[in-house]
Structure 1
Amino acid sequence: MFRPKHPPGRLDQVNSAGEPGFDAVDAIEHAWRRERPATPVRSIGVISRIWHAAKLLGDERRRTLAALGVDQATLDLLSTLRRAGPPYRMTPAQLAGACLVSAGAITQRVARAEAAGLVSAERTASGRRTRHVTLTDEGHRVIEGTVDRLLGHEQDLIDHLTDEQQELLADLLRVLLGGLRARLGAPDEPGQVGDQR
């Protein structure tokens, strides 16, 4: 539950003991505010928590994928093909664009997935170039099971937030990311499962 805290207008956090109160980020922000009153420190409360949450979620995703026997690159490839809809087929250029990786990286991902029977590659007569990459039945089985378990687990991780809080946070993060991309000239990120759904 969210409660007002001091100073007024801030949202309460839960400390390491599970009780409402200042957290470590609050302590850092308030220390800088005390030591350097003229230094703008409000960003600490946003950016430090995003960095910490990203690390926690990234570490947990790696553990979850390892338990499921899928690496992030393969998950990205299979997810991209699955989300494309029937016939679940894309060109290497389309895959590279959707995954925001180089043509060489896509070639490597496709080769690994093909060796595992997760995709099939249609090549030119010379065999030098891949024309299309298609999700196989085994690829379907793997991605369907992985998505359900991964996203179910990650939903559990944020279920301490109400539906309204999750929607509000998603909206605020969308605005934050859009503003950052515009200011930094960064491209949109790929639509991976989980962090880019």
Structure 2
Amino acid sequence: MSIEKTGGDHVDRLRAQWARELPDLDTSPMSILGRIYRLSMLVRPGIEETFAAFDLDRGEFDVIATLRRAGPPYRLTPTELYKSLMITSGGLTHRLKRLEKAGLVERIPSPEDGRSMIVGLTGTGIKRAEEAFRADMESELALFASMPAARRELLAELLRELTENVTSNLADREN
């Protein structure tokens, strides 16, 4: 494949430059991971803008969305939250303070253990999570408007397979 002749996209141009400079190096991972990273960077500002319209940053949205997805009564322990969000307990504490101050979450004494607390969505938090998620999905769906549903499904399937493969390979490295 002659990337320079076809023009290609940004990643193709980067690979062509590396092929010229280091012709013995296989840069094929860039064709996948480079595009995933680039897509992430391209859509991030729009996603953040959507959440900002609801007075949320992405991290705050992640917390209230996780609680909303949990289903009634929309409560989780802090440990369940930070494991689900893949953040530190300190990072969660900071987010919870802001969300509590905004009236979106409340800390409730655990009925099982009086020494611990459970985090729950308030009525306002439930509404805000739903509205922000609906707006986000509408905005993101618009990005795929010109891509046929079957192609989107194929892409999702391939990305799932890639995620499972990478997760497995990383786990093998750790063992």
Same fold (TM over 0.5): yes
Q: Which residue of 1 aligns with 2:19?
A: 33
| Alpha-carbon offset, residue 106 of structure 1 | 2.1
Give the counterpart letter for 2:166 in structure 1: L
Residue in 1 that maps onto 2:160: 174
Alignment match of 1:112 (pick from 98, 110, 133): 98
Which residue is 1:149 aligned to? 135
Query: How many angstroms does 1:21 deviate by?
Result: 5.9
> What letter matches 2:59 in structure 1?
A
Post-superposition shift, 1:184? 2.2
* Secondary structure, aligned partner of 2:107: strand
- RMSD (Å), alpha carbons: 2.5
1:183 corresponds to = 169
- Secondary structure at the counterpart of residue 53 of structure 2: helix
Match of 1:60 among 46, 64, 70: 46
Residue 120 of structure 1: CA displacement?
Answer: 1.5
- Paired residue for 1:138? 124
Is 136-145 or 114-123 further displaced after alignment?
Answer: 114-123
Counterparts of 2:101 and 2:161, CA distance in 1: 41
Q: SS of the residue aligned with 1:38?
A: coil
Q: Is 2:71 the partner of 1:85?
A: yes
Moved more, 144-153 or 177-186: 177-186
Partner of 1:162: 148
Q: Tell me the secondary structure at the aligned position of residue 112 of structure 1.
A: helix
The runs of at least 4 aligned residues of structure 1 exceeding 4 Å deviation read none
CA–CA distance in structure 1, aligned partners of residues 39 and 116 of structure 2: 39
C-alpha distance in 1, partners of 2:132/2:7? Answer: 37
Provide structure 1 residue ranges, at least 5 long, that are not aligned to the other structure: 1-5, 11-19, 187-197
* Change in CA separation of 1:130 and 1:138 when aligned onto 2, cut-off 3 Å: farther
Q: Which has the higher contact order (CA 8 A, sep 6+)?
A: 2
User: What fraction of aligned residue pairs are identical, expressed as a percent?
Assistant: 33
Deviation at 1:79, TM superposition (A): 0.6
Equivalence map 1:5-16=2 (5 Å) = none
C-alpha distance in 2 between matches for 1:81 and 1:25: 37
Q: What is the aligned length?
A: 167
* Ranges in structure 2 where 5+ consecutive residues have no aligned partner: none
Q: CA deviation at 1:130?
A: 4.3
Residue 50 of structure 2 contacts residue 132 of structure 2 at CA under 8 Å; is this kept in 1?
no
Contact 1:119 1:133 (8 Å CA) reproduced: yes
Per-residue Cα deviation, 1:28-70 (whole angstroms, up to 9, x for no partner): 3234435544321222322221221111012221222223321
Aligned to 1:122, the other structure's residue is in SS state: strand
Larger mean CA deviation between 107-116 and 133-142 belongs to 107-116
